Structure 1
Amino acid sequence: MMQTARIILAVTCAALLAGCGNGSDTPQLMNIRSTTAGPDEFGILPPKPLEMPTDLAQLPEPTPGGTNRTDPTPEADAILALGGRPGAGAGLDGGLLAHAGRYGVASGIRQTVAAEDLQWRRDNNGRVLERLFNVNVYYRAYENQSLDQHAELWRWRQRGVRTPSAPPPPAE
């Protein structure tokens, strides 16, 4: 009987100690881990469709390890979709950057935001049971900062603004 109690106590202590930390000072909000060694679905970009140029002289000279016309160019595609000039620089469009920074740009903003977010997560991720059982607390930590998309949709529709698409209603 006494030996069984010691074994139960030892197992309980081991389980508690195993959940105490992840070896990092940074609080983990999105506790998502892949259990497989499969491909990253979000890292795969489909190639552009093949097309025949009107003049074969437009084809670039093939270079080993170089790019070809069907390689995906997500940055250039995003710049073009946001109204930038096609082929403006190496992925950067001066006009797009000037428009984005027209009200001023704070230097070191990424480091400032990262430090503030880290402090926010430390202050709001102190729930022991959630850390112990590796529960995703991201949405709960930022809950009071999130936008109620359905209330916003209703608000804009009441004002007569066309909203051609809407998020699905929440499952209850």
Structure 2
Amino acid sequence: MLRMAAALAGVLVLGACAEGGVAGNLRAAGVGGSPDEFMVLPTKPLQMPSDFAALPPPTPGQSNLVDYHPHEEAVASLTGKEQPAGSARAGAVVAMAGPVDPNIRARLAAEDVVFRDENRGQFLPRLFASDPEDVIYRGVTLDAPAEFERQRAAGVGVPAAPPLVLEEDN
């Protein structure tokens, strides 16, 4: 038994002294202490324009011609049609929403403290609940499936919802 323990300890010591390993392989592949931004997304190949005068002027902070646009590409792949970046419908929604309150986080935090103080719930449910926030916010939590059905019954055009339970193939 003692020989087996000594042999195991020796193997572990020799293994720790070995060069490379998983960390060495990662470093050899270019994965080091900091992330490589070029490994996150594959880049599209560079394209040679037919006329250099037709190129738009560079705009600092804006996207390039070969940059990925994940939101637009996701919309196009899911719906089968492209959505213009600044569509009139989106502009109307933003205009209807009005100006943004820059102090919204602080205001919501103060309102939440008042709400929690007024709606602490009963002692025993708070004591035995796995999530006390569930007890506090139970009356104001949105039931997504019920809201989906309510909107559908009201005639609102809603996208297809994912199934609540995945059906198993038989």
TM-score bin (small chain): 0.3 to 0.5
Instruction: Using structure 2 for the length normalisation, give the TM-score.
Output: 0.37
Q: TM-score, normalised by structure 1?
A: 0.37
Write 1 or 2 for the structure with the bigger share of helix: 2
Compare relative contact order (CA 8 Å, sep 6+) and give the higher one, 1 or 2. 1
Q: Which of the two has higher C-alpha Rg? A: 2
